[in-house]
Chains A and B, each alone.
Chain A
Amino acid sequence: MNKNELFKAVGGISEELIGEAEGRVCRRRHVRTGAPIAAAVMAVSATVFAAVNGAKRSVHHSWKIDYRSLPAAERLVGDVGFGPELPEEFANGYAFDEGRIMDSENFDENGQSIEKYKGLSVGYALDGDGIELHINAAKTNAAPDGDLVGEYGGCKLYYYSYMNKFVPGSYELTEQDIADRDSGKYVFSFGSSEVEVKEIKGLSWDDGGERFSLTGIDTPLTAEDMASMAHELIDLQK
């Protein structure tokens, strides 16, 4: 194969990748919502849930963006089996960016599949920062991860924050890594393309049989900011 053929083949990549790179200046200090962030949040979610709930959860999603505009509740019922009301924009300015359907599966301690179900991953963005809203039909009686920080509209809100070290799949933990993991300094997530340390913040609650989770990576949003967003979502479901 010669370079012209390879060059032509690069020309045939998907419009999604072409559009992603079109005319956008990447602000490397800010994390933007999108496929890589959704993937990072998937890795975080699976790790956290595996550590806390006993049962292990695996989440898979395709890179395909399922929703480029805000989906109506009726459509979501058909797509994922439940129909939460979603805001186009929160009061703090975070606006709908894109949405994906997630395939989730719970495993027991022996690695046997317990159940499969669909969920939603909806990205909201503002000024280069992104936050993911995950919604699953709650399949567990266990409380969400984190500390109870309040109650609103009959829903208990749980908040957590920790430092996550993302490493490639082939990465071998050093002695320092093991010490950091054991001391709780870092939670490790495998599968990234490079080693990065990021702060993860999350706020979760159950409402009407569904589990809602707001997750931010290196986000400037505080726990109070995320709680305000949770209040708006809770109000929308009434």
Chain B
Amino acid sequence: MEDREIIGLYLARNEAALTETAKKYGRMVRSVAYGILKNEADSEECENDTYLSAWGSIPPQRPTSLGAYLGRIARNAALGRLEYYAAEKRSRVLETPLDELGDIASGSPTPEAELEQAELSRLIDAYLRGKSRAKRVVFVRRYWYCDPIGKIAREQGYSESKVKSMLMRMRNELKIYLERNGIKL
């Protein structure tokens, strides 16, 4: 079913919207959540939270890309769960995309974080557009879709070590790029 048809179901408050959403995007949502949480049970709960959040926000939201909209909700939900575990000192985290980003951003939360986030997203977007499509896809698959390194390597035709080195170089370049644009990491 096309996104606009699924969104139409949401707008009509037809619960078939959730069935169709799960059918089309369930795998992606679970994959994104699992990439962060590394736990099946938590990922499933996160998936349910995502659908609930979508049901509660459409309308008034009318996303142009339902996949991107759901992915963002799933990422934030998974991150929120991770932060809860960290606060409760329940260590569930193995090596994740989040940990890799910690290489370049290991400081304290900034008070202006919310204000900066939109600007930061814009700068990251601009940085990525200056890279080749191949590198862009690897970065986005790892840090947006939270794909495992092995999956990225298989799908993009690289060795795992190549993917790791590409990501490390891009993280370091991103850090320099952001700092040159006034973002303190």
Give the interface of A toward B (CB within 8 A): 1-15, 17-22, 24-28, 32, 34-37, 63, 192-194
Q: How far is the CA of A12 from the CA of B120 in the complex (A)?
A: 9
Instruction: Determine whether the beta carbon of A1 is less than 8 Å from that of B128.
Output: no
CB distance from B65 to the nearest CB of A (A): 4
CB distance from B95 to the nearest CB of A (A): 13
Instruction: Determine whether the beta carbon of A6 is less than 8 Å from that of B156.
Output: no
- CB-CB under 8 A for A194 and B132, given A6-B185, A14-B125: yes
A contact residues around B107 at 8 Å (CB): 1-2
Instruction: Determine whether the beta carbon of B101 is less than 8 Å from that of A19.
Output: no
Q: How far is the CA of A20 from the CA of B129 in the complex (A)?
A: 11
CB distance from A170 to the nearest CB of B (A): 13
A contact residues around B117 at 8 Å (CB): 5, 8-9, 12
A contact residues around B8 at 8 Å (CB): none
Instruction: Determine whether the beta carbon of B156 is less than 8 Å from that of A28.
Output: yes
Instruction: Determine whether the beta carbon of A25 is less than 8 Å from that of B155.
Output: yes
> Which of A19, A27, A63 interacts with B157 by CB under 8 Å?
A27
**What 15 new A-B contacts, CB under 8 Å, besides A5-B113, A12-B118, A18-B65?**
A1-B110, A2-B108, A3-B99, A6-B104, A6-B185, A12-B124, A13-B125, A18-B67, A21-B136, A22-B145, A34-B133, A36-B133, A37-B133, A193-B132, A193-B135
The residue among A6, A17, A24 with the most chain B CB atoms within 10 A of its own CB is A6
